[in-house]
Amino acid sequence: MKQVPLKSILAEIYPLHRTLASDGTDEALEIIGGYMPDESGYTIETYTPGKPVWTWRVPERYVVHEAYLEIADGERVLDFSENSLHLVSYSLPIDSTLSWDELEPHLFFNEKRPEAIPWEFKYYERSWGFCLPKNTFDQLPRDQKYRAVIRSEFIADPKRGFRVGTGLIHPDDGPNPSVGEIIIASHICHPMQANDDAAGVVTAIGLAQRLIEEPLRKGSMNVRFLFCPETIGSIAYLAHHEDLIPHMKGGIFLEMTGNENTLVLQHSRQDTHLIDRVAGYVLGQRDERYREGEFAQVVANDERVINGPGVNVPCISLSRWPYDEYHTSDDNLSIISEEMLQDAAKIGEDIIRIFASNYIPKRNFRGPVFLSGHDLWVDWREDWDLNRAIEKIMMRFEGQQSIFDISEELGLDYWATYNYVEKFREKGLIERLPIPSESSAE
């Protein structure tokens, strides 16, 4: 585990030709492995192209040998080797001479950012195209012939299949299979783009490093990290590991965390699940403003899969959406701030520490506990809030509410409540019940 600024990791990943399955994506997965803590047991998995995964199929690998557009007289308009954004992702091969009218439907630009190359993709449309700045597009002669060359290949070789990277971090006392896990996801695709979502990837790496520096409390959930291409990546991963789903208690999707904007908490499909409320609590503890939005309504992504039909792991997302450079060549290192990346990692860390440590205390006792006899009295001079709340906490060990629920209902600090409840547990007065899973077991 190398430790460097998150932005410098991002600088390594950013320029690669990262699409669904491609050599650039492989490289990115390898780089991630270099920064993920050894303790996470980071591995890369490869899936066979064409294999059915739920209602989808694993995509083929996309290899581009060369791609360019020339005016018939020989002047080269654009070249994939200069910027992979020039090529519409998953374009079919072509080598044709076309009139302007034939060519134009295959050219893409961005009206609002005339100097930038937009990003376009045709993963499932079986077409081809080029992207270029609006300014360049405007200057192209309409009365000339063009030569469009794309030497691309779609490879179904299982050995060179579709890839994802994954790691697992345990709490201080090792795995506790009965308490389950939380999943942290970010997507590695989007060629030549920095904030979407190489930023989420390096934030997840930073978060993993923090959980090794200061391990999670004993008895906490495991934390699973998933780095994969958008949508089909998380589908392929979960379809290959359906047995994991029932153990997943919550998830955080991280993306677009590097630009200068406040954080936005996009709620889970459950909207008021523990993961939502813990995130709101962590964000609300700070002075910084933050925003909130409904599930899949801020910026839809892999949380649609993780929290989707038949999976249903409550999954929030954290991002700094919106930003003007989205899906263009302007989404580059110049808009990325180390401070923003670290801030998002810190928030993610705080959410995970609470969510993973939280459990449902169930009493073994009857009647109000003889507090002074069990050294459970809290002097009001030491902690006024806790002193006033002792009785109310003791009334809530019915196996219905988690520690977080109790602290939230009584307006107490989570960790003060957690530490006090733990004293009851150490004395055998309560036992811990795991947070129930809302995910689908089918």
**Angle at CA 380, nearest 5°, toward 377 and 382?**
90
Query: Could you tell me the end-to-end alpha-carbon distance of the chain, in angstroms, rounded to an integer?
Result: 37
Residue whose CB is less far from a copy of itself, 291 or 374: 374
Please name the residues in contact with 263: beta carbons below 8 A apart, sequence gap of 6 or more: 257, 283, 288, 290, 291, 318, 319, 320, 343, 344, 347
Structure tokens at 18: 């990262």
Question: 19 to 48, contacts with a copy of itself by CB under 8 A?
Answer: none
Among 372, 375, 382, 426, binds a copy of itself (CB under 8 A): 372
Binding-residue total with a copy of itself (CB under 8 A): 38
Q: Is 354 helix (H, G, I), strand (E, B) or coil?
A: helix
Segment interacting with a copy of itself (CB under 8 A) among 98-106, 167-175, 232-240, 348-356: 232-240
| One residue of 367, 375, 381, 382 binding a copy of itself per CB under 8 A | 367
- Enumerate residues 6+ apart whose C-beta is below 8 A from 376: 369, 390, 423, 424, 427
Tell me how far, at minimum, the Cβ of 66 lies from a copy of itself, in Å. Answer: 29
CB burial of residue 235 (10 Å; 0-12, 13-18, 19+): buried
Structure-token match 């998002």, residue found: 344
Q: Which is nearer to a copy of itself, 158 or 310 (CB)?
A: 310
409-438 residues near a copy of itself, rule: CB under 8 A: 429
Tell me the two tokens of residue 187.
Answer: 């997507």
Of residues 296 through 315, those in contact with a copy of itself by CB under 8 A are: 296, 300, 304-305, 308-311
- Contact between 399 and a copy of itself (CB under 8 A)? no
Torsion, Cα 32 33 35 38, to 10 degrees, reads: 150
What's at 13, amino acid-wise?
I
In the complex with a copy of itself, the residue whose CB is nearer, 48 or 440, is 440
Stretch (H or E) spanning 270: none
- Site for a copy of itself (CB under 8 A): which residue of 356, 394, 403, 406? 394
The first and second tokens of residue 34, run together, are 């270099």
Min dist CB 158 to a copy of itself, Å, is 21
Q: In this complex, which beta carbon is closest to a copy of itself, that of residue 334 or of residue 372? A: 372
Q: How far is the CB of 321 from a copy of itself (least distance, A)?
A: 17
Shortest distance in whole angstroms from residue 403 CB to a copy of itself:
16
Cα separation, 220 vs 80, in Å, equals: 48
Of 76 and 388, which CB lies nearer to a copy of itself in the complex structure?
388
DSSP string, 74-103: S-EEEETTT-GGGBPBTPPPEEEEE-HHHH
Which of 50, 284, 368, 436 is the binder for a copy of itself (CB under 8 A)? 368
What SS3 state is found at 293?
Answer: strand
Degrees to nearest 5, angle at CA 426 with 39 and 273:
65
d(CA 108, CA 116): 11
Closest contact distance (angstroms) between CB of 310 and a copy of itself is 3
Residue closer to a copy of itself (CB basis): 126 or 159: 126
Q: Which is nearer to a copy of itself, 57 or 145 (CB)?
A: 57
The footprint of a copy of itself on residues 238-297 (CB under 8 A) is 238-239, 242, 269, 296
Give 108's DSSP letter: E
Local structure of 346: helix, strand or coil: helix
Taking the complex as a whole, how short is the minimal distance between the CB of residue 258 and a copy of itself, in angstroms? 27
> Considering only residues 311-350, where is the footprint of a copy of itself by CB under 8 A?
311
Instruction: Report the nearest approach of a copy of itself to the CB of residue 246 (Å).
Output: 13
| Gap between the Cα atoms of 311 and 57, Å rounded | 18
Identified binder of a copy of itself from the candidate list 5, 30, 34, 124, rule CB under 8 A: 124
Q: What is the nearest approach in angstroms of a copy of itself to the Cβ of residue 364? A: 9
Which of positions 165-224 make contact with a copy of itself (CB under 8 A)?
none
Looking at the Cβ atoms of 167 and 308, the one nearer to a copy of itself is 308
> Measured between alpha carbons, how far is 312 from 331 in angstroms, rounded to an integer?
32
CB of 12 to a copy of itself, least distance (A): 31
The footprint of a copy of itself on residues 49-68 (CB under 8 A) is 54-57
Identify the residue among 395, 400, 419, 436 touching a copy of itself (CB under 8 A). 395
The one-character DSSP state at 219 is T
278 burial (CB, 10 Å; 0-12 / 13-18 / 19+) is buried
Question: Which residues are at the interface with a copy of itself (CB under 8 A)?
Answer: 54-57, 124-125, 231, 235, 238-239, 242, 269, 296, 300, 304-305, 308-311, 363, 365-370, 372-374, 391, 394-395, 397-398, 429, 440, 442
